[in-house]
Amino acid sequence: MKLDPVTLQQVVARTLDHYHGRAEAFWEGTRHHDVEQNIEALLRHIRATPPFGILDFGCGPGRDLQAFALRGHRVVGVEGAPALAEMARSHGGCEVWQQDFLRLELPDACFDGVFANASLFHVPRQELPRVLRQLHATLKPGGVLFSSNPRGDNQESINGERYGAYYDLETWRDYLTAAGFIELEHYYRPAGLPREQQPWLASVWRRMEAYR
């Protein structure tokens, strides 16, 4: 699904408008989700001396910002929906940059880890290589990227007002490897269920020390 520039912007705007208009309901519906497994998957692979610098990419209303901050880490959020960004500042007590995926301005070699929990699947497929390169660049050499996305058969769609792209493991590996990452681990969620009842693919990646 190749999108022209105007349609691409419209797709991203519609997705953000969806979350902006439902910010309170989204907070109430997700605030008690248990993502401890994902947080620990990121933290255990970081080689730096704590406290770590963490970028919560697509931080939503700030649930995970708060979790990292309570562990003593220095965490910054990125969120495109204005209402969610404001809630994240309040709930997480952290700095939050309001940026959408088409207009990212991330500092170079700044973070020990990037936590992209249920966010990268909203990046339009044609823009994903660029976004992954930007996440690679904002990590320090050897830094770690965590991602969790609903898995699928490499289809993309607009369901209602939200864009989504749903990858299998092999295709996701291709994208991350091309962006300069090496795989550390992957798993499916929720834990302990048969594979057909595990809709989420989680994976952890390290920025290669030297990437051109």
- The CATH number of whichever domain residue 149 belongs to comes to 3.40.50.150
Query: With 90 as the cut, is the pLDDT of residue 55 above it?
Result: yes
Q: In 93-207, where does DSSP find H-type helix?
A: 128-138, 169-178
Task: Give the structural domain span for 14.
Answer: 5-207
Q: Which two tokens stand for residue 147?
A: 């991602």
Give the pLDDT of residue 115: 98
Query: With 80 as the cut, is the pLDDT of residue 92 above it?
Result: no
Query: With 80 as the cut, is the pLDDT of residue 70 above it?
Result: yes
In-domain check, residue 212 = no
Which of the pair, 151 or 91, is modelled with greater confidence?
151
Beta-carbon contacts of residue 163 (< 8 Å; ≥ 6 apart): 11, 12, 14, 15, 122, 124, 156, 157
Query: With 60 as the cut, is the pLDDT of residue 212 above it?
Result: no
CB 144 within 8 A of CB 165: no
**Helix H or strand E encompassing 186:** strand 181-189
pLDDT digits (tens, 9 = 90+) for 37-47: 999 999 999 99
pTM of the model: 0.94
Give the pLDDT of residue 80: 94
Task: Provide, rounded to the nearest whole percent, the portion of the chain with pLDDT above 70.
Answer: 97
Beta-carbon contacts of residue 10 (< 8 Å; ≥ 6 apart): none
If one counts the domains in the chain, the total is 1
In-domain check, residue 160 = yes
Average pLDDT over residues 108-118: 97
Give the pLDDT of residue 211: 42
In-domain check, residue 147 = yes
Which of the pair, 126 or 25, is modelled with greater confidence?
126
pLDDT digits (tens, 9 = 90+) for 160-196: 788 999 999 999 999 999 999 999 999 999 999 999 9
In-domain check, residue 79 = yes
Give the pLDDT of residue 27: 67
Give the pLDDT of residue 20: 87
In-domain check, residue 93 = yes
In-domain check, residue 100 = yes
Average pLDDT over residues 103-132: 97
In-domain check, residue 68 = yes
Average pLDDT over residues 142-171: 94
For the purposes of burial, counting CB atoms within 10 Å of the CB of 152, is it exposed (0-12), middle (13-18) or buried (19 or more)? middle
pLDDT digits (tens, 9 = 90+) for 7-45: 899 999 999 988 888 878 876 877 678 899 999 999 999
In-domain check, residue 190 = yes
Measured in degrees and rounded to the nearest 5, phi and psi for residue 34 equal: -90, 105
* Number of residues that this document lists for the chain: 212
